[in-house]
Structure 1
Amino acid sequence: MIGYVTIGVKDMDRAKAFYTELLADLGATLLIDMDRIAFIGKDMASPMLAVCRPFNEGDPAPGNGNMVAIDPGSKEKVDQLYNKAIELGASCEGKPGQRIPDMFYGAYIRDLDGNKLAFYQLA
């Protein structure tokens, strides 16, 4: 149902490097690279993450309560993505762990521009 999610960034080169490296182990690559927007994903038919400089040329502003959630397929991959994001300069918003007993395992980070992401696995 979701085609792509867009998040605003200040530095396109930095954001493309962060997200292509972070999501590479999930099979994602840089699919479309235009001047102010880039799409990262597995293929054009699967959901993608887009990073962009805002159209109005203002500063990007991460929303309070907005978050992109990525299901990498296992708890181990949640841990791997979280650790990789931290290594790439992201900040911790919640270390990997069981959030809802026997149902939801998750980890939370903020990217280099303050956008919040969750990595999760449902039981």
Structure 2
Amino acid sequence: MIGYVTVGVSDMDRAKNFYSELLKDMGATVTADMDRIAFIGKSMAEPMIAVCLPYDEEPNHPGNGNMVAITAGSKEAVDTLYAKAIELGATCDGEPGQRIPDVFYGAYVKDLDGNKLAFFVFG
């Protein structure tokens, strides 16, 4: 249902590198790059994350309550994505752990521009 989610960034090259490195083990690459916006994912036919310089040319601002949730597939993959994000310069916004017993395991970080990401698995 979701085609892509866009997050505003302050430095396109830095953002493309962060998300490409973070998600490369899931098969993601920059699938389209159009100056002020770039799409990162497996293909244009699957959900992607887009990074962009704001259209109004004003500084980007992470939304309060906005979050991109990336399905990891396993608890180990949640842990791996969280560690990789921290290694790439993200900040912790909730260490990996069981949030809802037997239902939801997740971890939270803020990317290099303060956008909130969740890595999760249900079950």
* 1:33 paired to 2:36: no
Amino acid at match of 1:54: P
Gaps of 5+ in 1: none
Aligned CA-pair RMSD: 0.4
Q: Distance in 1 between matches of 2:4 and 2:37?
A: 12
Residue matched to 1:69: 69
SS at match of 1:51: strand
Q: Which runs of 5+ in 2 are unaligned?
A: none
Distance 1:65 1:55 in 2: 21
Find the aligned partners of 2:24 and 2:93 in 1 and give their Cα distance. Answer: 22
- For 1:112, the aligned partner's letter is L
Compute the TM-score of the two structures, normalised by the length of structure 2: 0.99
Percentage of identical aligned residues: 72
1:35: Cα distance to partner? Answer: 0.7
Q: Give the drift of 1:49.
A: 0.3
- Secondary structure at the aligned position of 2:54 is classed as coil
Runs ≥4 in structure 1, deviation > 2 angstroms? Answer: none
Structure 1 residue 110 corresponds to structure 2 residue 110? yes
Structure 1 match to 2:97: 97
Paired with 1:101 and 1:115, the residues of 2 have a C-alpha distance of: 27
- Following TM superposition, by how much is the alpha carbon of 1:34 offset from its aligned partner in structure 2, in angstroms? 1.1
Aligned partner of 1:64: which letter?
N
